[in-house]
Amino acid sequence: MVARKVKAETEIAPPVVKKVRPSRSATKSAPAISKADLEDDAQADIADEKPPIEAVDNAPPAKTARGKAKAKETEGAEAARPPRPRGRAAQWPPVELDPSKHPARAGYPVHSLPPLNVAPNGAIPSTTPGPLPHFLGAHTSIAAGPATALYRAGKMGANGLALFVKSQRQWKSTPYEQEAIDRFKDAMKPVEQGGMGYGPETILVHGSYLINLGNPDPAKWNMSYTCFKDDIERCHQLGVKLYNWHPGSTVGACEKEVSFGLIAKAINRVHKEVPEVITVIENMANAKSNLVGTAFTDLAAIIDQVEDKSRVRVCLDTCHLFAAGYDIRTPEAYRATMKQFDEQVGNKYLGGIHLNDSKTELGSCKDLHENIGLGHIGLTAFRELMRDPLMSGLPLVLETPVGEGNPLDMGDPCVWTEEIQLLYQIQKIEDAEWESTKGEIEAQWRVKRDKINPPKEKKPTKKDGKVAAAKAKGKKAKRDEESCDSHAEDSDSD
Ligand SMILES: [Zn+2]
Ligand SMILES: [Zn+2]
């Protein structure tokens, strides 16, 4: 399926020619940007970029593979239509995201963390003077241009963020206009200079889901490498230093050791072809599949073959970690897992964290993200992490289910805003009080979460179960066959 889709997308007209966009600067008198505008702009700018959770949980029918195929069928008819009058999205930043219209982000709360008694992490030099905070934030939408991610992050009260630099499920995307780059760089500037204050140390870009650098097929490897390099070039254009992606899969066609070598080859080559950007390998969830990077030893084996080790790091996703069998639920388990990471990979390679609870149990090999503290991992693990001095100066990125639509654009409360506050709240609670308070904190948080982002309760019938199982089986087989994309339809992952 993936292979067929890839082929189709390569052969059919590239998205570049789908729409001709008048310059935004030519339309200065426009009012606020609407949700439709944002979506429309997103399609023109970056195809169907969606925050990871939306892409899975809440994707409207038009954005499904079938929807896309249908869209392609009608492409000719669409192209014949005159371009829609634009000029509504001219205001910059969009009103909904204008920092003067909402409270500025909280700044950098620095909890007095215990002294570091393990080897330091691989954080890149900070632009923030003084003790380093945890750069806590979320994976944020780039609908209406990459710079909007920084404004959305500000609106949710984040100190760090992740974003895609193009559509995460498309091989080719339109190159950036200079205006988009300038806006991003302006938004990265310190608050005193009119920016949002997100230095390069606070931003962890997430790479395309299509990339599989572990695939031994030379043509497919080359295609992945082109997409990988394009992602990293975009990071460089934007002035972003940390690029995180999924290492890949053997697709069942070779031993994992062969894939380690192929992935390292790509890293070494991209280090020579694009300056500065650090390649950050993400750990993966499904330890029973062909995926590479589910074990610490996989990550170590790749890093071992990287020539310029100053430009390689690891991003640990807590849901993936837990699903792959690494326990972090208690203080002891958390410390033992992090000790194992230091011994097998090395703290100096730790470059970022994805903060996700898990809908499934330890070692389930399923990649199903849950809101913080409300899954099988639980609040204690996240309190440990927030109080761990090893996390100082690293981007800590929420990829938890966020609910319908884009609440930040709608002015609605956002689950991530609440999760950021929750994480800073539990960070401050001392050990002696934790056991007696955690139950109440969790209960209150669950009520709040259910209000903002009601959990989807779908009671499957027997028939549903059979169909879903058959579908999932087919999809999984195909996925493993062709791609490193671990993001099943049933997965909230990133
Ligand atoms: Zn992740
Ligand atoms: Zn990911």
Per-residue pLDDT of the chain (494 residues; tens, 9 = 90+): 333 333 333 222 333 323 333 333 333 333 333 343 333 333 333 333 333 333 322 223 333 343 444 444 434 444 444 443 344 456 888 888 888 776 656 666 677 888 999 999 999 988 767 778 889 999 999 999 999 999 999 988 899 999 999 988 889 899 999 999 999 999 999 888 989 989 999 999 999 999 999 999 999 999 999 999 999 999 999 999 999 999 999 999 999 999 999 999 999 999 999 999 999 999 999 989 999 999 999 999 999 999 999 999 999 999 999 999 999 999 999 999 999 999 999 999 999 999 999 999 999 999 999 999 999 999 999 999 999 999 999 999 999 998 877 777 776 778 999 999 999 999 999 999 999 999 999 999 999 999 988 877 665 555 555 555 555 555 544 443 333 333 333 334 56
Contact 283, 314 (CB under 8 A): yes
CA of 227 to the centre of ligand 1 (A): 19
Which pLDDT score, from 0 to 100, does residue 73 have?
40
CA of 145 to the centre of ligand 2 (A): 21
Position 248: which residue type? G
Which pLDDT score, from 0 to 100, does residue 81 have?
42
Contact 52, 174 (CB under 8 A): no
Nearest bound ligand to CA 281?
2
3-state SS, the chain, equals: CHHHHHHHHHHCCCHHHCCCCCCHHHCCCCCCCCHHHHHHHHHHHHCCCCCHHHHHHHCCHHHCHHHHHHHHHCHHHHHHCCCCCCCCCCCCCCHHHCHHHCCCCCCCCCCCCCCCCCCCCCCCCCCCCCCCCCEEEEECCCCCCCHHHHHHHHHCCCCEEEEECCCCCCCCCCCCCHHHHHHHHHHHCCHHHCCCCCCHHHEEEECCCCCCCCCCCHHHHHHHHHHHHHHHHHHHHHCCCEEEECCEECCCCCCHHHHHHHHHHHHHHHHHHCCCCEEEEECCCCCCCCEECCCHHHHHHHHHCCCCHHHEEEEEEHHHHHHCCCCCCCHHHHHHHHHHHHHHCCHHHEEEEEECEECCCCCCCCCCEECCCCCCCCHHHHHHHHCCHHHCCCEEEECCCCCCCCHHHHCCCCHHHHHHHHHHHHHHCCHHHHHHHHHHHHHHHHHHHHHHCCCCCCCCCHHHHHHHHHHHHHHHHHHHHHCCCCCCCCCCCC
Which pLDDT score, from 0 to 100, does residue 480 have?
38
Nearest residue to 135 via CA among 345, 311, 354: 354
What's the CA gap between 370 and 375, in Å, rounded? 6
Which pLDDT score, from 0 to 100, does residue 409 have?
75
Contact 353, 318 (CB under 8 A): yes
219 Cβ contact partners less than 8 Å away, ≥ 6 residues apart: none
CA of 231 to the centre of ligand 2 (A): 14
CA of 30 to the centre of ligand 1 (A): 37
Nearest residue to 213 via CA among 269, 264, 172: 264
Annotated active-site positions, please?
169, 206, 209, 246, 282, 317, 320, 354, 367, 369, 399
CA of 205 to the centre of ligand 2 (A): 10
Which pLDDT score, from 0 to 100, does residue 96 have?
83
| Ion ligand 1, residue ranges at CB < 5 A | 317, 354, 494
Nearest bound ligand to CA 316?
1
133 Cβ contact partners less than 8 Å away, ≥ 6 residues apart: 108, 109, 110, 159, 392, 393
Which pLDDT score, from 0 to 100, does residue 339 have?
98
CA of 320 to the centre of ligand 1 (A): 7
Pairing of strands 203-206, 242-245: parallel
CA of 318 to the centre of ligand 1 (A): 8
Question: What are 297-302's contacts with CB under 8 Å, separation 24+?
Answer: 297/344, 298/247, 298/256, 298/260, 299/247, 299/344, 299/345, 299/349, 300/344, 300/345, 300/346, 301/257, 301/260, 302/247, 302/260, 302/263, 302/264, 302/267
C-beta neighbour count of 166 within 10 angstroms: 24
Which pLDDT score, from 0 to 100, does residue 168 have?
85
Give the torsion through C-alpha atoms of 291, 8, 166, 178, to 10 deg: 150
For residue 280, what are the CA distances in angstroms to 124, 311, 351, 423? Answer: 12, 8, 7, 24
Which pLDDT score, from 0 to 100, does residue 469 have?
54
Residue 303 Cα to chain centre, angstroms: 22
For residue 105, what are the CA distances in angstroms to 32, 193, 198, 247? Answer: 22, 15, 11, 33
What's the CA gap between 40 and 37, in Å, rounded? 5
Pairing of strands 369-370, 350-355: unpaired
Which pLDDT score, from 0 to 100, does residue 27 have?
31
**CB burial string 93-114: b at 16+ within 10 A, e below:** bbebbebeebeebeebeeeebe
Which pLDDT score, from 0 to 100, does residue 219 have?
98
Nearest bound ligand to CA 399?
1
Contact 303, 349 (CB under 8 A): yes
Which pLDDT score, from 0 to 100, does residue 311 have?
98
Nearest bound ligand to CA 320?
1
74 Cβ contact partners less than 8 Å away, ≥ 6 residues apart: none
What's the CA gap between 205 and 208, in Å, rounded? 10
